[in-house]
Structure 1
Amino acid sequence: MNNILIISPHPDDETLGAGGSLLKHKDNGDIIYWINITNIKEEYGYSKEKVKKRNEEIKKVIESYEFNDFFDLSLKPTSLTENDIPFIVTKISSILDKIKPNILYIPFWNDVHSDHRVVFNALQPFFKSFRYPFIKKVLMMEIISETDNQFKETFKPNVFVDISDFIDKKIEIMNIYQSELGEHPFPRSIDNILNLAFYRGSQCNYQYAESFMLLKEVLD
């Protein structure tokens, strides 16, 4: 049994990047945890109704995946800077010491969204095996509309996960985030999510797949 931790810069990144893989982990009897870094709040200028709706969405998502625990840092979205890194490191470190995950799912280092890049930079201390020996594998996610728009080093997947049995559930969960979805050609459309999974599946001889970049793996 594995202890899985996914770290999302924003709610919906966990589903876009690894929704099918999380469902597969759960089906295999693994323990799954979710750390979300940013969230909307009234003090950030969002309406009470919008905040309530987003928190209801998150609650439904947690229930849909059957996460064993959820941690929300609730930092201001689209506003993360290097100044937030010490806070993020401290908070995540305390969580890691508590749950001791052996597999991490994290954002790609060169995503277009600055929040994603700041989160990745904050996670680098946790790649050190002498400090966190229980972390055996670190996988960077492909998050549609963020990972597919780089201008430097591009995302080059080298790990593929068959999610054919879980694609319908992934789409069902993604539909909870109605405010984040749009119609094609908007990147975060159901059509595009399915098309990406279909394409990644064609690269590994499965119907649907999610792809990742392996950043680290320790084999016992």
Structure 2
Amino acid sequence: MNKVIVISAHPDDEVLGAGGAMLRHVSKGDEVYWLIVTNISEAQGFSAEKVLSRQKEIDIVGKMLGVKKTFKLDYPTMSLTSGSLLKLVPDISAIFQEVRPEIIYCLNRSDAHSDHRVLFDATMACTKSFRYPFIKQVLMYECISETEFAPALPEKVFIPNYFIDITPFMEDKLEIMKIYASELGEHPFPRSLANIRALAHFRGAVAGVQYAEAFQLIKFIDKD
């Protein structure tokens, strides 16, 4: 059994990028944890109804994914900056020390959304082997509508080199994504059910399976 943690800046990142992987881990008997770093609030101009519905969505999605525990840090959404790292790094570190994950799924380092980029930096600060000897794998996941809209520069390219067969879980992934109804749109809107399926179909073709999720392996430590 492995302990796995998936880190998202916003609810829906996890399903878009690693929902199938999460379901697969659970099916294999692994413990899956979910860390959501930002949240919405009335102070930011969101309605009380929207704030409440978002929390309900998180609860439903966590249950459907089979998550053992969900952590919420409640940083204001769309507000993470380099200045956030002073508090964010210790916050993530404390969760890692509690969970002691062997496998970490984090957001892509060069996504278009600044929350994603800052969160990647904070996560990587919490993967030093001498402080977190339990960590064996660190993988970046791609997030539709953010990863593909990063600047087209060589140093910002997402390079998939690790693929997970999610064929048995593809339909479940799409059903779970429907919980985030307000985040979905019709094609050619990037976060459409058709596009989510198309990306998984394309990644599956690369990996030789029907549907797959793709990741960029950052660290792999082979030890017992």
TM-score range, shorter chain: over 0.9
User: Equivalent residues in 2 for 1:59-70 (5 A)?
Assistant: 59-70=59-70
Task: Tell me what 1:192 maps to.
Answer: 195
Task: Tell me what 1:113 maps to.
Answer: 113
Task: Tell me what 2:86 maps to.
Answer: 86
Q: Report the aligned-residue RMSD.
A: 0.7
Tell me the secondary structure at the aligned position of residue 89 of structure 1: helix
Pick which of 86-95 and 99-108 moved more.
Answer: 86-95
Write the deviation string for residues 155-202 of structure 1: whole angstroms up to 9, x where unpaired: 110000000000000000000000100000000000000000000000
Tell me the secondary structure at the aligned position of residue 215 of structure 1: strand
**Distance in 2 separating the partners of 1:96 and 1:127:** 9
Tell me the TM-score normalized by structure 2: 0.97
**Distance in 1 separating the partners of 2:75 and 2:189:** 26
- Of 166, 169, 172, which aligns to 1:169? 172
Task: Tell me what 2:157 maps to.
Answer: 154
Task: Tell me what 2:207 maps to.
Answer: 204
Task: Tell me what 1:95 maps to.
Answer: 95
Percent identical among aligned pairs is 49
CA contact (8 A) 2:35 2:71 kept: yes
Task: Tell me what 2:127 maps to.
Answer: 127
**Distance in 2 separating the partners of 1:79 and 1:94:** 21
Tell me the secondary structure at the aligned position of residue 167 of structure 2: coil
**Distance in 2 separating the partners of 1:110 and 1:125:** 16
Write the deviation string for residues 72-116 of structure 1: whole angstroms up to 9, x where unpaired: 011111111111112211111111111100000000101110000
Deviation at 1:124, TM superposition (A): 2.0
Tell me the secondary structure at the aligned position of residue 5 of structure 2: strand
Task: Tell me what 1:7 maps to.
Answer: 7
CA contact (8 A) 1:81 1:118 kept: yes
Tell me the TM-score normalized by structure 1: 0.98
CA contact (8 A) 1:86 1:122 kept: no
Task: Tell me what 1:138 maps to.
Answer: 138
Pick which of 118-127 and 202-211 moved more.
Answer: 118-127
Query: What amino acid does structure 2 have at the position aligned with 1:9?
Result: A
Task: Tell me what 2:21 maps to.
Answer: 21
CA contact (8 A) 2:38 2:77 kept: yes
Pick which of 23-32 and 148-157 moved more.
Answer: 148-157
Pick which of 37-46 and 20-29 moved more.
Answer: 37-46
CA contact (8 A) 2:92 2:126 kept: no
Tell me the secondary structure at the aligned position of residue 126 of structure 2: helix
Write the deviation string for residues 35-82 of structure 1: whole angstroms up to 9, x where unpaired: 001111112221101101111111100110121111001111111111
**Distance in 2 separating the partners of 1:8 and 1:209:** 19
